[in-house]
């Protein structure tokens, strides 16, 4: 661990403490009211179900297209579809993507090519940024860096280490959250699953990082709080890892989850059958790394 030059971090639950609730009826009622501003008529339950159905469909389509076991969609397309595919609509003066909403809806009704064009205009518009970040802010209950996050990142940079982010997240609202806490400047490169079309533990997500950055996996460590994604992707590639127990599992539960990682990852890397993190921080405090970084 002391000889490792490249640190690859997870974000949520590792560097940032976050809690969201996307199941609240009040949340969906407010989101329905927001969509109503743009002429899309939903009740809260209708919007919630439409959102879940759309996410499921998009994930299945991406999985079929890429062959990835763990695809990651971009929510921009989901929100755009929700606007264009509302069960009913009313007239509004709003615009998005340089076109009036009513014009976009009319374009989407002209056939597959028209719908594709309308979706593309919405996906890259300021409108979708407002909707996505409103969705995130209204569902968010907590967001703050862990106590020693900035200390660890600062020391890594001061000691000449290279620092990367490999996060299962949505670029559209993850970057504003990182920017708000001044985290972006600490990373040599940021890899977000929605940009890659896949998420941890898909091995290719990490492999792409290693190839692009020209890194030797023996000279890298994955730091994360999730056995199923962070530790599993490291085990699948025979990489070192640090496990931060921010979920507060007891030792028995941690061993159970690690056992599951060994079973699955062992099919991809022979050494994974006996894999264990290089360091397990049972109290979840990332500050433990301060004693290791040299």
**Token pair belonging to 105:** 């809806």
Each residue's pLDDT, cut to its tens digit, for the chain (294 residues) gives: 678 999 999 999 999 999 999 999 999 999 999 999 999 999 999 999 999 999 999 999 999 999 999 999 999 999 999 999 999 999 999 898 888 999 999 999 999 999 999 999 999 999 999 999 999 999 999 999 999 999 999 999 999 999 999 999 999 999 999 999 999 999 999 999 999 999 999 999 999 999 999 999 999 999 999 999 999 999 999 999 999 999 999 999 999 999 999 999 998 888 899 999 999 999 999 999 999 988
User: Of 7, 5, 3, 1, nearest to 230 (Cα)?
Assistant: 7
Angle of helix 25-37 versus helix 126-139 axis, rounded to 10: 160
Please write the tens of the pLDDT for every residue from 49-80.
Answer: 999 999 999 999 999 999 999 999 999 999 99
Q: Print burial letters for 159-187: b (CB count within 10 Å at least 16), e (below 16).
A: eebbbbbbbbbbbbbbeebbeeeebeebb
By residue count, the chain amounts to: 294
Please write the tens of the pLDDT for every residue from 8-21.
Answer: 999 999 999 999 99
Angle of helix 101-108 versus helix 112-123 axis, rounded to 10: 140
Domains of the chain, with CATH numbers?
6-19+143-291 (3.40.50.1000), 20-139 (no CATH)
pLDDT of 1: 67
pTM exceeding 0.85: yes
**Token pair belonging to 194:** 């929605």
Residue carrying structure tokens 């950055």: 213
User: Of 18, 69, 20, 28, nearest to 52 (Cα)?
Assistant: 28
Distance of CA 282 to the CA centre of its chain: 24
Q: What is the CA radius of gyration of the chain?
A: 21
Percent pLDDT > 90 in the chain is 93
* Helical ranges in the chain per DSSP H: 25-37, 44-66, 75-84, 101-108, 112-123, 126-139, 149-158, 171-180, 193-196, 203-213, 232-237, 251-265
């Amino acid at each position: 661990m002391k000889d490792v030059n490249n640190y690859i971090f997870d974000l949520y639950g590792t560097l940032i403490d976050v809690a969201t609730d996307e199941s609240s009826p009040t949340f969906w009622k407010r989101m329905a009211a927001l969509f109503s501003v743009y002429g899309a008529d939903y009740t809260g339950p209708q919007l919630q179900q439409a959102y879940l159905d759309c996410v499921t469909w998009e994930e299945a389509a991406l999985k079929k297209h890429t062959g990835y076991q763990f695809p990651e969609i971009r929510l921009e397309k989901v929100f755009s579809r929700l606007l264009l595919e509302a069960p009913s609509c009313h007239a509004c003066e709003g615009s998005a993507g340089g076109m009036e909403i009513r014009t976009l809806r009319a374009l989407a009704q002209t056939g597959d090519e028209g719908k594709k064009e309308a979706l593309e205009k919405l996906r890259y518009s300021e409108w979708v940024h407002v909707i996505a970040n409103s969705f995130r802010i209204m569902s968010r209950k907590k967001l703050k860096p862990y106590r020693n996050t900035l200390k660890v990142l600062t020391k890594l940079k001061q000691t000449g280490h290279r620092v990367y982010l490999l996060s299962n997240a949505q670029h559209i609202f993850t970057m504003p959250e990182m920017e708000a806490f001044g985290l972006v400047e600490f990373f040599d490169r940021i890899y977000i699953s929605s940009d890659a079309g896949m998420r941890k533990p898909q091995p290719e997500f990490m492999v792409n990082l290693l190839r692009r950055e020209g890194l030797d996996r023996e000279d890298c460590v994955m730091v994360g709080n999730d056995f199923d994604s962070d530790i599993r992707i490291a085990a699948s590639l025979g990489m070192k890892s640090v496990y931060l127990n921010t979920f507060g599992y007891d030792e028995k539960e941690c061993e159970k989850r690690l056992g599951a990682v060994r079973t699955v990852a062992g099919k991809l890397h022979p050494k994974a059958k006996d894999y264990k993190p290089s360091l397990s921080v049972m109290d979840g405090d990332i500050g433990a790394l301060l004693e290791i970084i040299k």
